[in-house]
Amino acid sequence: MADNSQKMSYHAGQAKGQTEEKASGMMDKANNAAQSAKESMQEAGDQMKAKAQGAADAVKNATGMNKN
C-alpha cells in the first residue's frame, strides 16, 4: 500500500508542477499582451500629440501668430 500511495503522491506532484508551469506561461503571455497594448497606446498617443501640434502650428501660420 505504501508503494501505491507514493505513486499517487508522485503523480499529484507532477500534475501540480505542470499546472504551475502552464499558469506561469499564461501569465507571461498575458504580461506580454499587456505590454504590447501599452506600447500601442503610447504610440497612438504620441501620434495624436504630433498631429495636434501640427494643427496648432498650421493655425498659427495661417493667422500670422507664428513668431519664428
Residue 55 belongs to a domain: yes
pTM: 0.57
Structural domain containing residue 58: 25-62
Let me know if residue 68 belongs to a domain: no
Q: Let me know: does 50 contact 59? Beta carbons within 8 Å.
A: no
pLDDT at 58: 93
The reply to whether 67 falls in a domain is no
Residue 50 lies in a domain: yes
Per-block mean pLDDT, blocks of 10 residues, the chain (68 long)? 82 91 94 96 96 94 80
Whole-number Å distance between alpha carbons of 41 and 18: 34
Q: Is 1 part of a structural domain of the chain?
A: no
Q: Which grid cell is 33?
A: 499582451
Beta-carbon contacts of 57 under 8 Å, excluding residues fewer than 6 positions away, are 66
Q: Quote the pLDDT of residue 3.
A: 83
Overall number of domains in the chain = 1
